[in-house]
Amino acid sequence: MSMIRMSFGILLGVVSMGLAQNAWEVSSPQGNLTMSVNLVDRGGTADYPAGVRLYYSLQCKVGDKIVTVLNDSPLGMVRDDQAFVEGLAFVSASKLQKIEQAYTLPHGKKSQYSNTCNEQTIVFQNGRSAKMELIIRVFDNGAAFRYRFPEKDAAVHKLTQEATGYAIPKDARCWMMPYDAPTQYAPAYEVYYENDIAVGTPCPKEFGWAFPALFSVEQGKCWALLAEADMDRSYFGARLESAAPKGVYRIRMPEAEEGMGVGSVQPSSALPWQTPWRVVIVGALSTVVESTLITDLARPTEIKDISWVKPGRVSWSWWSDQDSPRNCESLKTFVDLAAEMGWEYTLVDANWTIMDKGTIHDLMRYAADKKVGVLLWYNSGGPHNRVTEMPRGMMDMSSVRRFEFERLKKWGVKGVKVDFFQSDKQESLAMYQGILADAADFQIMVNFHGCTIPRGWSRTWPNLISMEGVRGEESYIFDKVYPDKAPSYNTILAFTRNVIGPMDYTPVGFSNNRYPHKTSNAHELGLSVVFESGWLHFTDSVQSYRSQPDFVKAFLKAVPTTWDDTRLIDGMPGSHAVLARRKGGGWFVAGINGLDTPRTVTLDPAVLGKGVWKLDLITDGDGPKSFAHPDPRTLASGDKLTLSLGAYGGFVARLNPVSP
């Protein structure tokens, strides 16, 4: 459910126009963030091409200082029939409207969401009198804009270029992920982030930089995360060009080779037609991590009853035994594990259609007796991939998948994991959303793997529980450099990928796979809280979890997957991350160290509120494979607790309020 309130009128000091009506400013409700738009001829300098063009910039007030987050950055669009880049003229500007929203979601960083922004729409026309709208929203924690072609035309038009750019200040530092090269299994947003690099650093891959991209300006006085939101079925998933001349990163379209060449690089639509929001989350590092701007900007759901959407913990057999989905007896042990731990679900991965020693119906009956829900894996292909794992050919056509979803509902299946998309073209983005819409009609929850990144779809379709779009713990099976990369990479994910939506990293692997992990077991345990996902797929084996100390098993039985609040306590991408998440009146706090040297972190319970807390703590033990579990103690909001994290170490803590 959501509530939206709008108030209209020009607010003094929020919107201003130059004498020639070629300059506009929209500020946030509290005035700390301002987006400026200018229609100007820069005179053909080395940095700016000649001709009247649109530019925008972004300024943030930090204390008494104004920090430039984005310098003058280009705007504009080119269709196959019209160009909206050069020679634009101002037509009109709407009155400012203040938008206030409140809504709820069944999973995510919070349970109750609210936001306020100021919005203005500015209309321009080109030399042929065709119109383009620039819609601007400025929040206290970020800014967003989108283009809209308002005219009506039933003919289908193609977009040949989006001229949007982001002019990042030259002294900024960046955390950016190269975009995947198209392959049988990519793009899937599974490349490692480049850590703390200079603006304009050449991309190590030729296919550009992926969203989200994080940068800090003026030595961390202000942080910003670039992303996109409210992607409908009429556009592509964007990334940034590899090169950034003068620090200007421009929007780049998908590669023709993505999805086995299926689909057009250029999106198309009849008119009217609007783009996704181009989003810049702005503020302190905690503001970025805690932001819900991506779902705030997404379309509210039209699903009236979402009581059947139930996130939860999941046992998962594939990581420890890739053949297990074809063995009913092996899968039953993971049903038993879920029942023992109080986890809500078990996932049956690829090739369950050729199961031995029983059938999927035998497993369903067994799980039902244990009161464990079943989730089933599907191949998304389709001509867009040539991955052979089964079942395939049931998700790319609406009529076929609706038949399948109706059958799954009759079987009692609670959700599906749909894998292997390998494309950010319009056709692929439309397929994701078609799957979500059809699944919702049959009360089926969805998790995407081998996929794109979140763009707020969990608000539009709350049955989207999680998405991969990350290099997760399965990489211990096939990537020999992953153990060296993972500790630091995990800390970066908390400030980048997981900011924009749920992330199915499949964490908490205590045992070793093909390539042994270097993270401590306490680091692994901490990932269950540091990373947010509506389905928490525990990656390890039955034997591994059963062999853990009772206090670790108690934590694994208690850790939730839905949260009422989220706060960043401490951290720096590439170094460490400490997050607190509230469930009811209590807090779960976890920290991870991404470096190969020990470090200390300070837990100040005052940031969680006033009161006295019962602290139950699990930290690194004498070695990376062991835990320490001090006796529970009380901790007042005025106290501070210093914790030692080992190399690549971590901790978890539960803080429950003590009744007066």
Is the residue at 460 inside a domain? no
User: From CA 625, how far away is CA 629, in angstroms rounded?
Assistant: 14
Q: Which two tokens stand for residue 320?
A: 């420890």
Q: How far apart are CA 53 and CA 132, in angstroms?
A: 13
Residue 120 forms part of a structural domain: yes
pLDDT value for 660: 63
- Mean pLDDT for the stretch of residues 610-615: 93
pLDDT tens for 340-395 read: 999 999 999 999 999 999 999 999 999 999 999 999 999 999 999 999 999 999 99
Decide if 606 is inside a domain.
Answer: yes
Contact 129, 237 (CB under 8 A): no
Scan for tokens 């993971």, then name that residue. Answer: 334
Range 241-266 average pLDDT: 97
pLDDT at 14 over 70: no
Is 305 part of any domain? no
Global confidence as pTM: 0.96
Report which of 215, 209, 161 is spatially closest to residue 189, judged by C-alpha positions.
Answer: 209
Query: What mean pLDDT comes out for the span 224-236?
Result: 98
Supply 121's token pair. Answer: 């729409």
CB neighbours of residue 453 within 10 Å: 25
Among residues 228, 336, 389, 419, the one annotated as catalytic is: 419
The amino acid present at 142, given as its one-letter code, is G
Q: Is the pLDDT of residue 224 over 70?
A: yes
Closest CA to 132 of 78, 73, 55: 78
Beta bridge partners of 285: none
Element (H, E) at 26: strand 23-27
Band the pLDDT of 606: cuts 50, 70, 90.
Answer: confident
Q: Each residue of 489-521: pLDDT tens digit?
A: 999 999 999 999 999 999 999 999 999 999 999
- 370 domain-assigned: no
pLDDT per position as a tens digit, 167-189 = 999 999 999 999 999 999 999 99
Scored b (16 or more CB within 10 A) or e, 224-256 reads bbbbbbbbbebbbbbbbbbebeebbbbbbbbbe
Over residues 218-233, mean pLDDT: 97
- Domain assignment present for residue 337? The answer is no
pLDDT at residue 9 above 80?
no
Domain boundary among 296, 330, 365: 296
Task: Residue 192: name the closest of 466, 499, 482, 450 by CA.
Answer: 482
pLDDT attached to residue 21:
75
Structural domain that includes position 290: 2-296
Annotated active-site residue in 404, 474, 532, 540: 474
pLDDT in tens, 144-174: 999 999 999 999 999 999 999 999 999 999 9
| Mean pLDDT value across the chain | 95
Cβ-proximal residues to 147 (8 Å cutoff; 6+ apart), any chain: 77, 84, 132, 133, 134, 135, 162, 274, 275
Report pLDDT for 480: 98
Active site residue 419: yes
Q: Out of 252, 272, 296, pick the residue that ends a domain.
A: 296
User: What is the CATH classification number for the domain harbouring 74?
Assistant: 2.70.98.10
Note the pLDDT of residue 51: 84
Residue 253 has pLDDT above 60, yes or no: yes
Q: The domain spanning residue 610 has which CATH number?
A: 2.60.40.1180
Nearest to 298 by CA among 510, 105, 39, 166: 105
**What is the number of domains present in the chain?**
2
The Cα-based distances of 347 to 108, 254, 387 in angstroms read 21, 32, 20
CB within 8 Å of 168: residues ≥ 6 apart: 70, 71, 174, 199, 215, 217, 244, 247, 248, 249
Q: How far apart are CA 553 and CA 546, in angstroms?
A: 8
Please check whether residue 55 lies inside any domain of the structure: yes
Q: CB neighbours of 557 closer than 8 A, spacing ≥ 6?
A: 341, 342
Task: Point out the domain boundary residue: 296, 315, 340.
Answer: 296
Three-class secondary structure of residue 526 per DSSP: helix
**Is 419 inside a domain boundary?**
no
The pLDDT assigned to 11 comes to 39
Three-class SS state of 117: strand
- Exposure on the CB side of residue 144, measured as CA atoms within 13 A: 26
Query: Is the pLDDT at 8 greater than 60, yes or no?
Result: no
Residue 296: active-site member: no
